[in-house]
Amino acid sequence: MIKNKKKYFENFVLNYKPFDWEHKDYDERPGFKGKNSFLISYKRFYKVFTYILDIENKLSKSVKVVDVGAWPGNMIKLIKDLFKERLSECTAIGLSFDKKFVDELKKDNVNCISTEIDPSFPFAKKSIDWQIKNYDLTLLLDTIEHLVEPNYCLDQINKSLKMNGYLIITTDNITNFLYIQDMLRKGKSPNVPYLLSSKVYIGDWRPHNREFSKEELSFLLEYSGFEIIKHEYFDRKQTEYKFNNSKSKIVDHKIKWGIKHGIFLAAKYLAFCIPHLRNHQIILAKKRNEIKDIEKIRQKTDSVEKWLEIRKLKGSI
């Protein structure tokens, strides 16, 4: 059992050896240059780490974990470090894994399945059945917002998990203060800008399709047989951490801001006192139904009368 979560995770990140493809020295942005993937999103990965620890004792003695949207493979390293010999199976799911990635993960006995997880994407690739069963835990980290039809992926996750298996999701929060202030100040939409969407880029790296509120995620998860066990809003603080000069500790950036940005930060932190105005969210969900049973009760209709009846029952009118 890990006694000091923060110290364990900090030491892991300090000693983390990135895969070759994780290095982004070409990125000149101060928040990204020279940092590994865990340091860039330190707060988010720490949240995931603590959620895994919270359910560690509820998982099988021989743990089976699948990471969906696994690129660049960093969470695989954390999972292996955390569970060690207790990890019996580990699978990475993603689109267009190259040979170098697959070969490197195979060295650690990780099963790589390269497949489409969003066949509704306008230029989708081939989708294959994952053929994995009775897994204990699935990670879907900052991935669901990239999907045109999230329930296809959630259905596949359901099929991969044992009954009462766990799913951890991280994703942006569409009700966050930063979007609201953009709407108020600039009349700017919280929707993904078209320039950043699949209107322009149609390659294997999928842009955001849309972001969600807690209520919307709850609907999608229930639709695929999951129940939310725990949900939390948090300030992601992406790129706001760095190594100190001796690389012996992880610290916040010490940046001097002008008056204008200081006012913005004060407004942001005041707004973030209200949980649903924070910019990121994490969910722990549990599989409660098999897909074959869920498919029998999913509500779909082409009748306006029936549709109005469903909406009335759900309190939407």
Q: What is the mean pLDDT of the chain?
A: 92
Per-residue pLDDT, averaged over 308-315, amounts to 83
Is 176 in contact with 212 (CB distance < 8 Å)? no
Indicate if the pLDDT at residue 314 is higher than 80. Answer: no
Indicate if the pLDDT at residue 186 is higher than 80. Answer: yes
Sign of the alpha-carbon torsion through 164, 161, 67, 56: positive
Residue 265, pLDDT score? 84
Residue 38, helix vs strand vs coil: helix
pLDDT digits (tens, 9 = 90+) for 213-253: 999 999 999 999 999 999 999 999 999 999 988 889 999 87
**CATH number for the domain that contains residue 90:** 3.40.50.150
Using CA atoms, how far apart are residues 254 and 191, in angstroms rounded to an integer? 32
Q: How confident is the model at residue 256 (pLDDT cuts 50, 70, 90)?
A: low
Number of domains within the chain = 1
For 251, residues 6+ apart whose C-beta sits below 8 A from its C-beta are 241, 242, 243, 244
Is 168 in contact with 283 (CB distance < 8 Å)? yes
Indicate if the pLDDT at residue 22 is higher than 70. Answer: yes
Using CA atoms, how far apart are residues 55 and 71, in angstroms rounded to an integer? 24
Range of the domain at 225: 5-313
pTM of the predicted protein model: 0.94
- 273: phi then psi, degrees, rounded to nearest 5: -65, -25
Per-residue pLDDT, averaged over 77-84, amounts to 96
Residue 168, Cβ neighbours under 10 Å: how many?
Answer: 20
